[in-house]
């Protein structure tokens, strides 16, 4: 179990230390893609030896490309700087066909990935590990996106993005999902076109890693969220080792980085070692090459956001589901995080053997079943 640290000391340590730490030699020979050169692009996965079969799209499941026009503003309670620009966030809607054809009383979960991944985290093309399709098979709709600054979404300079702004963008997307005011196939992000975008009466917000921190910021800053799903994030229980990649990446960001982007884990081997546990080797070979550089402004905004979290998490009064990997090397003490949510009805599920990337352990079905059951009990 990781040693608990006070949020003030954790934030102060992150802000004061500007010295890069030495990186250890990689323990496995994934080819490093180095620092980003130009806009970061999520590469396509390729078939790896020993990987699970590709994720099938069941005939009773619909999958649609979606896009959202958003403003990079920050009206959240976690203050940080943003550039104020207008951008497009892109992703997919995955849902049971029967639910969309019914067309009323629909519910959906909007997913937010962490600092080093992308939409692929929820949509890895491997049977049993494609979260959106697994949930659709259990009767639940999902919207997965590349957050602003990642993958297929727009890539503005990374210094103009931050966690509070990301929470505001999630809030904007939730409003568009409720109104049907977003782009689908044949309909652009401004709502022009012939296809009708589905509208949703209930919207849940889910996040993993710092995407979970962004999710809880949205939860205490904005109305219109019917419940929160928080995976692999603690404000008080971060392992001291997690400071090492933060301190190593920070000087690169302060020096300007490349368009304001850098990697949190310095090498693919570090990324694999710190994020995955009990993962089939073939699946690891699919996922590791997809690691993404992150916006520097987002990383630098984390310590101050921790202080805001500790002050405001008690104000959340919607249901909250916590999902943690049993062998998470980066965060610990999920009960301490749960205790901060004094105004919410909370549940905690631990996935046996899983690491920080809780969706990629061999027992991933535990997560799929627990999440689907919780969503059903929220009245979906």
Global pTM reads 0.87
List of E strands, the chain: 61-71, 86-96, 107-112, 141-145, 202-208, 228-231, 261-262, 294-295, 320-325, 346-351
Residues 330 and 78: beta-carbon distance below 8 Å: no
Confirm if 147 and 166 have CB atoms less than 8 A apart. Answer: yes
The domains of the chain, with CATH numbers, are 7-15+51-377 (3.40.50.1820)
> How far is 134 from 121, CA to CA, in rounded Å?
13
Rounded Cα distance, 235 and 9, in Å: 11
CA quadruple 32, 251, 1, 166: dihedral positive or negative?
Answer: negative
Q: What is the pLDDT along the chain (380 residues), one digit of tens a residue?
A: 333 344 433 443 434 332 333 233 332 333 333 334 334 443 444 455 567 899 989 889 999 999 999 999 999 999 999 999 999 999 999 999 999 988 888 999 999 999 999 999 999 999 999 999 999 999 999 999 999 999 999 999 999 999 999 999 999 999 999 999 999 975 545 555 446 899 999 999 999 999 999 999 999 999 999 999 999 999 986 667 667 778 788 888 888 778 999 999 989 999 999 999 999 989 999 999 999 999 999 999 999 999 999 999 999 999 999 999 999 988 878 999 999 999 999 999 999 999 999 999 999 999 999 999 999 999 75
């Amino acid at each position: 179990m990781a040693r608990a640290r006070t949020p003030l000391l954790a934030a102060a340590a992150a802000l004061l230390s500007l010295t890069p730490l030495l990186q250890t030699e990689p323990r496995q020979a994934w080819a490093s893609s180095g620092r980003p050169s130009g806009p970061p692009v999520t590469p396509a996965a390729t078939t790896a030896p020993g990987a699970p079969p590709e994720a099938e799209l069941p005939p009773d499941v619909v999958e649609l490309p979606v896009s959202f026009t958003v403003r990079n503003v920050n009206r959240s309670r976690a203050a940080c700087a943003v550039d104020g620009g207008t951008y497009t966030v892109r992703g997919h809607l995955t849902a049971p066909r029967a639910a969309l054809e019914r067309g009323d009383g629909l519910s959906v979960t909007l997913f937010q990935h962490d600092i080093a991944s992308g939409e692929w985290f929820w949509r890895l093309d491997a049977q049993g590990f494609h979260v959106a399709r697994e949930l659709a098979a259990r009767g639940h709709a999902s919207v997965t996106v590349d957050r602003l600054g990642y993958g297929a979404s727009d890539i503005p300079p990374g210094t103009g993005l931050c966690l509070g702004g990301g929470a505001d963008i999630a809030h904007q997307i939730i409003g568009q999902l409720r109104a049907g005011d977003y782009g689908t196939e044949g309909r652009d992000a401004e709502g022009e076109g012939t296809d009708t975008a589905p509208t949703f009466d209930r919207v849940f917000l889910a996040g993993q890693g710092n995407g979970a921190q962004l999710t809880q910021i949205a939860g205490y800053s904005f109305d219109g969220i019917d419940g929160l799903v928080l995976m692999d994030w603690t404000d008080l229980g971060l392992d001291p080792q997690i400071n090492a990649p933060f301190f190593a990446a920070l000087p690169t960001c302060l020096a300007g980085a490349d368009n304001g982007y850098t990697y949190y884990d310095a090498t693919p081997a570090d990324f694999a070692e710190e994020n995955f546990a009990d993962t089939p080797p073939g699946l690891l070979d699919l996922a590791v090459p997809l690691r993404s550089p992150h916006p520097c402004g987002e990383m630098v905004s984390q310590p101050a956001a921790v202080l805001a979290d500790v002050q405001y998490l008690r104000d959340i009064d919607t249901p909250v589901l916590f999902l943690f990997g049993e062998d998470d090397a980066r965060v610990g003490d999920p009960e301490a995080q749960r205790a901060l949510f004094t105004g919410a009805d909370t549940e905690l599920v631990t996935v046996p053997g899983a690491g920080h990337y809780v969706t990629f352990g061999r027992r991933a079905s535990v997560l799929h079943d627990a999440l689907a059951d919780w969503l059903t009990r929220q009245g979906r």
